[in-house]
Structure 1
Amino acid sequence: MNKELKVMEQKQYDDEIDLYELIEILVRHKWSIILTTVFCTILSLGAALYVRSNTPNYLMKSILIQQDSYELKGVNKIDVDSVLLQDKNVKRILEIESIRKEYLEKTRENMQNISSERKFLQDLITISKNEKKPEEISIKTEIVVDENSSRDIINRYLDILREQDNLSEVILKEKKIKSDSLEKTKIEIENIQNEILDIFKKDGDLRALKPEEKMNYIVAKYPELSLRKNEQEKYYNTYVNELVRLDSLNDKLDIIKETTDIYFIKGQSKVKLILVVGIVMGLFLGIMVAFLKEFIDGYKKRYRK
């Protein structure tokens, strides 16, 4: 019975992992661990430098679009997201020679069409909106040729947005309509006043009335004329007030406001992460190599015996 217990205890000890023995193995094969770690670090450094060299940089500009129809019909809604959905706008941006050249170089000839042109620009240009303030918009473009070309892209995009703004045209059109209506109303009021003067000349009953009673007499005796007069005066006041309101909108014509200049944004690369992962992987592989070499050495010793 005692012998069996001793055998079981000995087997249990043999199955246990000796921490000191593991450390001894790692120390014995330290150069394998170091060389493997260095090798993986060099590889990760090369990968990091490659990623860094291919990390794109950007230019960005922030704008503010505060638009209101001001109860006017026909005012276009400025939609920054629909610019590249229109073929004519895609063509206009690709009129920038350097950007056009870049597109032609990156796109196979048999794939060059309006769809690939749109996709090319959509990959370059990013439009973002402030979630809390949708009127705050940022236009960002990747620098694929040089900064000047990317500036041209942003400025061309802004030009297209400004062309969507037709508020000034609508205001001028409305002012013309109101002014014409006002002139017609003035003529109609003058005609009514002339009719009243004729009544004063022809109607003898008016001569015996006091000045303040004469208008009441005309209202009572000529109700249609009085209604016409009140109606035209109402129109006149309405048109005058509307023209004043339209004139006040001149201060609000600058719908698209540039809140920042075009500024440079350095692209964020994962250089540090790649280096850290490379070092950790190198250390892990080095330890695995150390244990593998220890296993092979042990196997050779047993085989020689």
Structure 2
Amino acid sequence: MSKELKMLEPKQYDDEIDLYELIEILVRHKWSIIITTIVCTLLSLGGALYVRSKTPNYLIKNILIQQDTYGLKGVNRIDPDSVLLQDGNVKKIIEIEPLKAKFLDETPKEFQNIAGERKFLGEIITLSKDDKNPGAVTIKTEIVGDEKDSREIINRYLEILKSEDNSAEVIQKEKDLKNKSLETTKNNLKDLEEDLITIFKNDSDIRSLKPEEKVGFLTAKYPALMLKKSEVERYYNTYVNELIRLDSLNDRVEVVKETSDIYFLKGESKAKLILAVGVVMGLFLGMMVAFLKEFIDGYKRRYKK
């Protein structure tokens, strides 16, 4: 039994991998590994540079949309996401020359229409909102042409948003109506005062009363007149208070507020990752080439024997 084990023992060692032998193979074919690694690194470097050149950079602007209807009718609801849904807005932005040139260059002729322009702008311009503050909006645009032209993209988008804010116009319209009603009320009060003056002149009973008794006397003897006077005064006070409120809104009527200047953001590319993968792949392929050459050399030596 012991003889059989001794016969099997060399075969077991033959199947084991000798780490030193592997290292010796790699050292022996080191130039194959180095050359393969250099070639793969150069190829990955070219790919990384190409990807980096195609990676867009961006311009960003932060704005804050704080809108309140103030209880007024006809105030537009400003939605930054709906800007590109309107054909006129799309045309206003796409007419920027470098942007239009890029669109015509990258878009097939059959898609060079308003739908294609809207899709193209949707890819160039992106919006993001803060979950904690839904009114905080970030406008980001890919730099097309030079930075000046790309700033114009953001400025036009912002201009469109501000043009949709009609709060000031609605407030002014409401003030005009209230002023007109107030003027009418003033005239009504003036007429009532003239009626009261006539009563004081013609009614001898009221002249003999004390000042604090006159109001009660008038209310009892001329109830319709005094009720109308009370109602007109109430309207007058309402219109005055409403005009004061509308005047106070003028200081906070700006709905679209710019919270930052336009700033530059470098696009994130995968150039470094591509280069790192190229180096690793070069080393791996280099080792594979080394082992393949060793196998071929060994095969040749055995064939010659």
TM bucket normalised to smaller: over 0.9
Please state how far the C-alpha of 1:99 moved relative to its aligned partner. Answer: 1.9
Partner residue of 2:220?
Answer: 220
**2:12 paired with 1:12:** yes
State the one-letter code of the partner of 2:30.
K
CA distance in 2, matches of 1:159, 1:215: 59
Q: Which moved more, 1:70-79 or 1:233-242?
A: 70-79
Partner residue of 2:103?
Answer: 103
Tell me the secondary structure at the aligned position of residue 132 of structure 1.
coil
Partner residue of 1:172?
Answer: 172
**2:263 paired with 1:257:** no
Partner residue of 1:76?
Answer: 76
CA distance in 1, matches of 2:207, 2:57: 90
Please state how far the C-alpha of 1:296 moved relative to its aligned partner. Answer: 2.0
State the one-letter code of the partner of 1:218.
L
* Cα deviation code 1:108-142 (max 9, x no counterpart): 22221111000111111111222222222221111
State the one-letter code of the partner of 2:274.
I
* Cα deviation code 1:264-293 (max 9, x no counterpart): 222222221111110001111111111122
CA RMSD of aligned residues (A): 1.5
CA distance in 1, matches of 2:95, 2:191: 60
State the one-letter code of the partner of 2:299.
Y
Partner residue of 1:198?
Answer: 198
Map of 1:130-149 to 2, 5 A cutoff? Answer: 130-149=130-149
CA distance in 2, matches of 1:150, 1:51: 21
CA distance in 1, matches of 2:165, 2:219: 49
| Aligned residues between the structures | 305
Tell me the secondary structure at the aligned position of residue 131 of structure 1.
coil
CA distance in 1, matches of 2:225, 2:9: 126
Please state how far the C-alpha of 1:8 moved relative to its aligned partner. Answer: 2.3
CA distance in 2, matches of 1:95, 1:33: 55
* Cα deviation code 1:146-183 (max 9, x no counterpart): 21211111111111011011011001100011101111
CA distance in 1, matches of 2:273, 2:97: 38
Q: Which moved more, 1:37-46 or 1:98-107?
A: 98-107
Tell me the secondary structure at the aligned position of residue 207 of structure 2.
helix
**2:44 paired with 1:44:** yes
CA distance in 1, matches of 2:44, 2:282: 9
* Cα deviation code 1:178-199 (max 9, x no counterpart): 1011111111212222222233
CA distance in 2, matches of 1:246, 1:94: 38
Map of 1:225-304 to 2, 5 A cutoff? Answer: 225-304=225-304
CA distance in 1, matches of 2:100, 2:22: 63
Partner residue of 2:127?
Answer: 127
Tell me the secondary structure at the aligned position of residue 257 of structure 1.
strand
Please state how far the C-alpha of 1:242 moved relative to its aligned partner. Answer: 0.8
State the one-letter code of the partner of 1:258.
E
CA distance in 1, matches of 2:159, 2:260: 16
Unmatched tracts of structure 1, length 5 or more = none
* Cα deviation code 1:204-253 (max 9, x no counterpart): 33233222111101112222222211111111111101111111111113
CA distance in 2, matches of 1:210, 1:6: 141
CA distance in 2, matches of 1:268, 1:200: 87
State the one-letter code of the partner of 2:190.
E
TM-score by length of 2: 0.95
Percent identical among aligned pairs is 67
Tell me the secondary structure at the aligned position of residue 56 of structure 2.
coil
Please state how far the C-alpha of 1:261 moved relative to its aligned partner. Answer: 2.0
Tell me the secondary structure at the aligned position of residue 261 of structure 1.
coil
State the one-letter code of the partner of 1:66.
Q
Partner residue of 1:88?
Answer: 88
Q: Which moved more, 1:62-71 or 1:115-124?
A: 62-71
State the one-letter code of the partner of 2:5.
L
CA distance in 1, matches of 2:268, 2:231: 69
CA distance in 1, matches of 2:22, 2:101: 62
State the one-letter code of the partner of 2:6.
K
Unmatched tracts of structure 2, length 5 or more = none
